Amino acid sequence: MNPFAKNIPTRDFLMEIYHRLYALYGPQHWWPGETDLEIIVGAILTQSTAWSNVEKAITNLNHQQVLTVAGLDKIKESELAELIRPSGYFNQKAKKVKAFIHYLRVHHHGQLDSLLGIEPTTLRKELLSIHGIGEETADSIILYAARKPSFVVDTYTRRIFYRLGCHPEKISYPELQSIFTRNLPSEEKLFNEYHALIVAFGKKQCQKKPHCLSCQLQDFCWYSKTLSLPKPSPQTKKAHS
């Protein structure tokens, strides 16, 4: 039997997952950023690194008071790279932040509101045209800085929904994203919370080496059935009954 046929990702199925994760973790209050620009810079810096490293880089930028459009425009790329060193790939990321600021200056007179005010489809095209902004970063900016519905998918989404039998292991970004966008109402608040909850679940429960015995989604999960799990102890059963 093809395991991917098991859970056809309908609206009801996806909402059931959402409600279970929400019951488990509650509201996540994303994105952790004080200003739209901080959210955008954070979205670029978080590529290929943990959020704790991004926080150190953001703290450096704030200490030097350069986390403004004018500040990031003025600072030399090499100095910017030093400040964001904790986020890893700092030379490449400095180039990307500079490319974003250059685009903003040339096409929107340096006005973030002008860029973020564009309707989402055009905004996504504009963002994707900027060096260093890929699909996940563009969708994060649209969802969390522009506050418009654009479902963000990432490594956690891919891992969890593969294990839940919703798609094959290899799936493109647009195909994975469309599982959510074609089934869920296009609501910014729902997309915001859903993505944040997926990240929480991927970090805490469905890790590379998953914690299946205590998992609230195990009844949906074909992947856990392929693992040789130890039998739950009476205490574990009681705790999750």
DSSP letter string, 19-42: HHHHHHH--------SSHHHHHHH
- AA identity, residue 160: I
C-alpha span between 47 and 43 (Å, rounded): 7
C-alpha span between 212 and 205 (Å, rounded): 8
How many residues form the binding site for ligand SF4 (CB under 6 A)? 14
Kindly report the number of other CB atoms within 10 A of residue 122's CB atom.
Answer: 9
- Of the listed pieces 28-36, 71-79, 176-184, 208-216, which binds ligand SF4 according to CB under 6 A? 208-216
C-alpha span between 165 and 146 (Å, rounded): 32
C-alpha span between 6 and 166 (Å, rounded): 7
Q: Does 224 bind ligand SF4 (CB under 6 A)?
A: yes
Q: In this chain, which of 212, 232, 236, 241 binds ligand SF4, going by CB under 6 A? A: 212
Q: Does 218 bind ligand SF4 (CB under 6 A)?
A: yes
Q: In this chain, which of 47, 157, 177, 205 binds ligand SF4, going by CB under 6 A? A: 205
Q: In this chain, which of 211, 228, 231, 241 binds ligand SF4, going by CB under 6 A? A: 211
- Of the listed pieces 58-66, 74-82, 142-150, 203-211, which binds ligand SF4 according to CB under 6 A? 203-211
- Interface residues with ligand SF4 (CB under 6 A) are 160, 163-164, 205-206, 210-212, 215, 217-218, 221, 223-224
